[in-house]
Amino acid sequence: MAKRGLLLANNPLLSGPRLEDRERSGIPYRELPLALIDRDPNQPRKSFDEDRLRELAESIRTYGVLSPLLVRPSTTSPGRYLLIAGERRYRASEMAQLQKVPTLIDQGDAKLGDRTLAMQLVENLQRADLNPLERAHAIGMLRDQYKLSVRDIGEKLGISKSMVQRSLEILELPEDLMKALRDGASESKVLLLAKIEDIEIRASYLKDLDVLTRGQLEKDIQKRSSDTTSSKSSAPTSEDRRITDDIQRALGLKVRLLRSAPESNDGKISIDFYSEQDLQELYRKLVTE
């Protein structure tokens, strides 16, 4: 089927700078054979909706690929390229049996794996295509494999430290809550259920999770916590939760507040950190600022 004419003025990747200008900026535009592009096995996004891929493939058959794929020259196979961003377009182009696709060629340092992963994450986060588990595993890789702090990850991805922290909390969830996330459960509701240690009680909430609002769930968990609190500890009050949330947002790290006894004026606050950089930043905030 012949491609229909389509104005590209609103697509800055296909209109705008000339090819020579793109090359001078370090990100040249090329049409590359699809067969020369290899998918990245470390791509954070793992699941792809087949129906939506088929819809995209049909659109590509009609209009072509309107947004170029981002690739990088392969460090192991001369003449080949590694796909950095645009895997949905790559897969749909395969379905549409395209021979060539438009690409932007990143000339950055291929040894900086954190840069590649960050670019892949940013693209998927901007398109809201990553599910919470995929995002969490990718952010965990940035922390563990590349030794980045919560702050560094937030800056690289252009997201808040609290979102980074929330993703790291997901990695610590028990298997029943991990499964709920994989099955599409609400991230915020699942993180609330993580406060319940009894797996059978969690299961009773999980079966009704779709019909419970976050507010209902939070109120019920708070009541249950209050009912089972021992004399040595106390369930957090709404003011305690507000203070905890404010401190957590300010620091970008997980914070816990625990009273020593119900209605007691004393207690303790604990703060989790994940790297030496996190600890040094926490020190600066608490001591030098």
- What CATH number does residue 23 fall under? 3.90.1530.30
pLDDT for the residue numbered 3: 40
Judge if 34 and 108 occupy the same domain.
Answer: yes
Of 66 and 255, the structure prediction assigns the larger pLDDT to 255
Confirm whether 237 is domain-assigned: no
Indicate the number of domains in the chain: 2
- Does residue 87 carry a catalytic annotation? yes
- Out of 31, 55, 87, 134, the active site residue is 87
Q: How far apart are CA 289 and CA 287, in angstroms?
A: 6
- My answer on whether 106 and 29 are in the same domain is yes
Residue that terminates a domain, selected from 126, 161, 186 = 126
Per-residue confidence (pLDDT) for residue 235, from 0 to 100: 60
Q: Is residue 89 situated within a structural domain? A: yes
Residue 254 lies in a domain: no
- 204 is in which domain, residue-wise? 176-228
Q: In this structure, is residue 58 part of a structural domain? A: yes
Residue 145 resides in a domain:
no
CA dist., res. 207 & res. 51, Å (int): 28
Asked if residue 24 has pLDDT above 80, the reply is no
Residue 274 lies in a domain: no
Same structural domain for residues 180 and 99? Answer: no
Contacts of 160 (CB under 8 A, 6+ apart): 154, 249, 252
Given this model, what pLDDT does residue 252 score? 79
Q: Given pLDDT bands bounded at 50, 70 and 90, which one contains residue 110?
A: low
Which residue(s) pair with 256 in the sheet? Answer: 270
Question: Residue 148 falls within a domain, yes or no?
Answer: no
> Do 181 and 101 have their domain in common?
no
Give pLDDT, residue 215: 86
Query: Residue 4 — pLDDT band, cuts 50, 70, 90?
Result: very low
Q: Is the pLDDT of residue 33 over 90?
A: yes
Residue 123: pLDDT band (50, 70, 90) is: low
Report whether pLDDT(82) > 60: yes
Higher per-residue confidence, 2 vs 132 = 132
Q: Name the domain boundary from 126, 157, 186.
A: 126
Domain final position from 91, 126, 161: 126
What number is the average pLDDT over the span 200-210? 90
Q: Can you tell me whether residue 268 is helix, strand or coil?
A: strand
Comparing 58-62, 228-232, 251-255, the range with the smallest average pLDDT is: 228-232
CA–CA gap between residue 16 and residue 197 (Å, rounded): 56
Q: Of 94-108, 136-150, 197-211, which one has max mean pLDDT? A: 197-211
User: Is the pLDDT confidence value at 10 over 50?
Assistant: no
- Provide the pLDDT for residue 270: 86
Percent of the chain at pLDDT exceeding 90: 10
103 in any annotated domain: yes
